[in-house]
A and B are shown apart, each in its own frame.
Chain A
Amino acid sequence: MLEVNGLTKSYGKLMAVSGVSFRVDHGETIGLLGPNGAGKTTTVSIIAGLMSPDSGEVLIEGKPVKNDTDPVKRNIGLVPQDMALYDQLTALDNLTFFAALYSISGAKAQQAIDDALKLVELSDRAGDKVGTFSGGMKRRLNLAAALLHDPQILLLDEPTVGVDPQSRNAIFENLEALKKRGKTLVYTTHYMEEAERLCDRIVIIDHGKVIADDTLQELHKLLPITNVIAIELDNANSFKPEQMLALPEVKSAELADGKLRVGVHDLSRGAPGILRWLSENGHTYHHVSSERPDLETVFLTLTGRSLRDA
């Protein structure tokens, strides 16, 4: 469906994208994950035809985008990071206009607009000026505007930036609905939880390079620990967590706020031994839970830096 081969793009001395390659299949959702300035937006811009790469190519259904009017571009729907709507016009006027850019008019346009508004649950606000919308509603309409020409590939450049959790959830429900319809989604974000919730595969970009490209499950395997057992001790004051490192299953152990966090590679083999060791050594506890490490940890492991600090 979409192939990105060896994209390179520099702005003066700054190499924004350096040899980025990945492939997205029909109906697949991939997350382009990376900190701000990693090269995600540049990559998306090149895929959308907004700029040409210094080298490399983008193939959509095996075909490159040859020029501005190439019909291949109709396969792509772009949801820019910045709001791409006219505040002074109504939602209906906006969508009518964006449909017309793809030569869709009349009844066909009306149908497409109705469907898009229904998906993003803004049908009842169609006649209102966009300037009166909340940030979350604008974000949803921003998404709707990219759907009117029924593109197979949706490029979503941080589509939830600056919205409240409720609106973010609404957008996610919209995206999950699109996913169910078989759309191919390329989703850039620096929010781990978004990528974890939505994406089948994660492409991690840092300093313009792809540093990982795999499913979430496989990415977890890159980690020295895949699970953390959190144990709330009855008497944590006298406990010394480094003692636990002697156990063969334990990869890490730290104590904070009365909670002992023990990292293990295999939960089913590690947990019984750890709990048994605590009992045998007189440490009682009142709560035990397990946590999976998130993409933040994956990024930290791969780059040595926290994603949000990068």
Chain B
Amino acid sequence: MIPFLALVRKDLKLFFNDRKSVIVGLVVPIVLASFFGYLFGGQRGNAETSKVPVLIIDQDGRDISRGLITQLAGDKTLDVKPSELAAAREAVRKGKATAAIIIPKDFGNNAGRALFSGANKPNLELLYDPSHHIELEMVKGILNGAVMQSVSKEMFTGISGRQTVNEALAQVENNRDLPVEDRKALRDLLGSVQRLNERQSEREAQGAAGSRLTGGLNLPYDTHEEAITSGENVAYNGYAHAFAGMGVQFILFMGLDVGITLLMLRQTGLWQRLRAAPLSRSMLLGSRTVSASLTAGFILFVLFSFARIVFGVRILGSFTGFVGVCAAFSLMTAAFGLMVAALGETVEATRGYSIMATLVMVMLGGSWVPTFIFPKWLQKLTVVVPTRWAMDGLDAMTWRGLGFSAAVGPIAVLLLFTLLFGVLAVMRFRWRTDG
């Protein structure tokens, strides 16, 4: 036991004596996780997201277009500014605006007519930045609602609406192709709208302040949004995922470093001295596994402690499950490092391909961005990546606030990967200092 403990203690001493490693292992992930955490919602879960910049080119200049602009400007997710066509094009091209909406001349009149007849719909032209196609869909949705509200309002209560309703009534009367019952129904509908308009006109003539109707067609519902987190009134904390992600990434790099160091050690007198001592191979590799796991566990501990103190990240699920996921991932990382040392031929080549493998694992595991934004096929594919399980496990135990049962799967899979990497490492490790 004395040699085993000495080997572990020595590795830990070497790690902590190397300030660069400690800085890279602790400070850098903290800085990056803080940044990513802020980007992905911070402590209050997307309370302050950037508004989508939208430019409006109003070529109509009448009540309906002005109403439409007012509607859009009132939306909390949009930052609406008036513009000219050429300037708007340039702004979208440069990425300064996500979209530009061109309201053409006579849009209001044509839209009003089309509201009742369905024919000759005017076009609203949308210029957009193709790199923001998701935001474009959002802008279109808001635009639809705003157009319906502003056009219907004008049709039911506005001056141009009265004229349009009169024209529509005349068309209905003159259309001999319409069945009698349909004509009657339309005449009743438009007649009601006409009477509403006339009363509105009379009130305006009498100068009744505040008597103008503010109606029109409205969205017939309101939404109530509730973020499903670990419990009621518990806000999503974007730092939880970010710290888990950066922790996973930098611990993997630490594991990689363990492998490369072992590979380099094999070419030194130190390795000869270790091999000349009466130590078993399992002790040499086992001690390295334990020391790397302890280092990984320490990194996770510091990261989450920092996140807890500074950003209020809490283990809202099972603490045992959290420790279990951390321990299983730490072991998996150590085994990964040993496998790198076992499979590597030269230090240079090994460093290259193992960095690539690590980055792929980090990327597909959801350490940078959550896996739910991946395409469905990729989400299915990433279950073969151990980091995915680590991230799912850590997310489940932190901000999702799930119980221990949600950690069992990730722990089991991570331990299976540990076994796989460990067996490969032991089978392929070149013990002899031949050459």
Footprint of B on A, CB under 8 Å? 11, 45, 48-52, 68-71, 73-74, 76, 78, 80-86, 88-89, 93, 96-98, 100-105, 142, 145-146
Contacts and interface: CB of A to CB of B under 8 A. Distances in A.
A100 B275 contact: no
Interface stretch (B11-19, B34-42, B107-115, B175-183): B11-19
A275 B268 CA distance: 56
A71 B5 CA distance: 19
A76 B2 CA distance: 19
Contacts of A76: 276
Contacts of B268: 82-84
Given A80-B273, A88-B18, A97 B2 contact: no
A83 B276 contact: no
Interface in B265-305: 268-270, 272-281
Secondary structure of the B contact surface, majority rule = helix
B13 A89 contact: yes
Interface in B2-36: 2-3, 5-7, 9-10, 13-14, 17-18
Interface of B: 2-3, 5-7, 9-10, 13-14, 17-18, 268-270, 272-281, 432-435
A50 B432 contact: yes
A100 B2 contact: yes
Contacts of A78: 272-273, 276
Given A48-B275, A51-B434, A82-B268, 5 more contacts: A73-B276, A82-B272, A89-B10, A96-B6, A145-B273
Nearest to A106: B2
B272 A101 contact: no
Contact of B272 (A48, A68, A85, A96): A48
Contact of A89 (B14, B273, B274, B280): B14
Given A82-B269, A84-B270, A97-B10, A103 B2 contact: yes
B272 A73 contact: no
A80 B272 contact: yes
Contact of B14 (A11, A86, A98, A105): A86
A307 B279 CA distance: 38
Q: Which of B10, B277, B433, B435 has the most CB of A within 10 A?
A: B277
B92 to A, nearest CB: 56
A102 B277 contact: yes
Contact of B275 (A49, A102, A142): A49
B10 A70 contact: no
A45 B279 contact: no
B28 to A, nearest CB: 20
B59 to A, nearest CB: 72
A162 to B, nearest CB: 13
Contacts of B7: 101
Given A86-B10, A86-B14, A105 B272 contact: no
Given A84-B270, A86-B14, A89-B17, A49 B276 contact: yes
A73 B13 CA distance: 27
B279 A86 contact: no
Q: Which of A69, A71, A74, A85 has the most CB of B within 10 A?
A: A69
A11 B279 CA distance: 26
Q: Which of A50, A76, A78, A145 has the most CB of B within 10 A?
A: A50
Contacts of B6: 96-97, 100-101
Given A68-B280, A69-B280, A85-B270, A101 B13 contact: no
B285 to A, nearest CB: 12
B279 A69 contact: yes
Contacts of B269: 80-84, 142
Contacts of A146: 273
B18 to A, nearest CB: 6
A51 B432 contact: yes
| 6 tightest Cβ-Cβ pairs between the two chains A and B | A100-B6, A80-B269, A82-B269, A84-B269, A101-B277, A78-B276
A198 B165 CA distance: 119
A11 B433 CA distance: 11
B435 A11 contact: yes
A96 B270 CA distance: 15
B278 A74 contact: yes
A69 to B, nearest CB: 5
A227 B3 CA distance: 54
A71 B280 CA distance: 12
Contacts of B278: 68-71, 73-74, 102
B41 to A, nearest CB: 41
A50 B276 contact: yes
